[in-house]
Amino acid sequence: MAFDYKKEYKDFYLPAKHPHIITIPPMNYLAVRGHGDPNTENGEYKQSIELLYAIAFTIKMSKKTDHRIEGYFDYVVPPLEGFWWQDALAEQQDDREAAIIDYNKKDQFNFISVIRLPDFVTKADFDWAIQTATQKKRDFSRVEFLPYDEGDCVQCMHIGSYDDEPGTVAAMLSYATEQGYELDIKNPRYHHEIYLSDPRRCQADKLRTVIRHPIKPRKYS
């Protein structure tokens, strides 16, 4: 049976519906950066998803090619994730503010769309996948190999529409503060979402999204 990261790492992908503190280890990702409203048809965000999955499945199906990845085992491609920020808010954010993202200004979103890579995938394997996929006459130059060390975070499972996330975010901030932490959202630590539901096939009020925010010990004056 294929290794499923969601089932094997439930603390990361299937967390509780209430805020809690967690430490995330370093991971490698496929990544595509972009800007703009994620709902725009044929916009940068939707293009980024297509690019990511093309490379993710090129790596997964390497077992059927002459390219041999040391330590390879069959696996389910991990879920789509995203790091999000808005430049205007990033300059004025502090640990008391719950408005990490202004959902009414989606056109101002910056994002890094990502899919986790298995630990056995090296930069050389990534380069092979880009070269292989490019042979099909498509440009994959936007796709990056991204090492990311997220560290200490507060996270929560959000059930419902993406536009209803501010309530969950506020609860996360309150909990982190009670536990002696403050938000540490600044480059390169961002508002992080993991998408466990396909919005094309799931009602908005039943969408499952892991929301994760980086934190640090709170400073008291």
DSSP state of 218: P
Rounded distance between C-alpha atoms, residue 206 and residue 162, angstroms: 10
Q: Locate tokens 């430049």: which residue?
A: 87
Q: Which phi and psi angles does 151 have, rounded to 5°?
A: 75, -145
Strands 80-85 and 208-217 turn out to be unpaired
8 A C-beta contact, residue 115 and residue 80: yes
Question: Which amino acid appears at position 108 of this protein?
Answer: Q
Cβ neighbours of residue 200 closer than 8 Å, sequence gap 6 or more: none
Q: Are 180 and 134 in contact (CB under 8 A)?
A: no
Name the token pair of 194: 């993991």
CA distance 130 to 23: 31
How high is the pLDDT of residue 97? Answer: 45
DSSP codes, 158-190: EES-GGGHHHHHHHHHHHHHHTTEEE--BTTB-
User: How far apart are alpha carbons 40 and 46 in whole angstroms?
Assistant: 8
**pTM, 2 dp:** 0.94
Distances (CA, A) of 134 to 46, 49, 55: 19, 16, 10
Q: Can you give the length of the chain in residues?
A: 221
Q: pLDDT digit of tens for each residue in the chain (221 aa)?
A: 899 999 999 999 999 999 999 999 999 999 999 999 999 999 999 999 999 999 999 999 999 999 999 999 999 999 999 999 998 765 555 544 445 789 999 999 999 999 999 999 999 999 999 999 999 999 999 999 999 999 999 999 999 999 999 999 999 999 999 999 999 998 899 999 999 999 889 999 999 999 999 999 998 75
Predicted confidence at residue 96, as pLDDT, reads 42
In contact, 32 and 43? CB cutoff 8 Å: no
CA 31 to CA 51: how far, in whole Å? 9
pLDDT at residue 98, as a whole number: 43
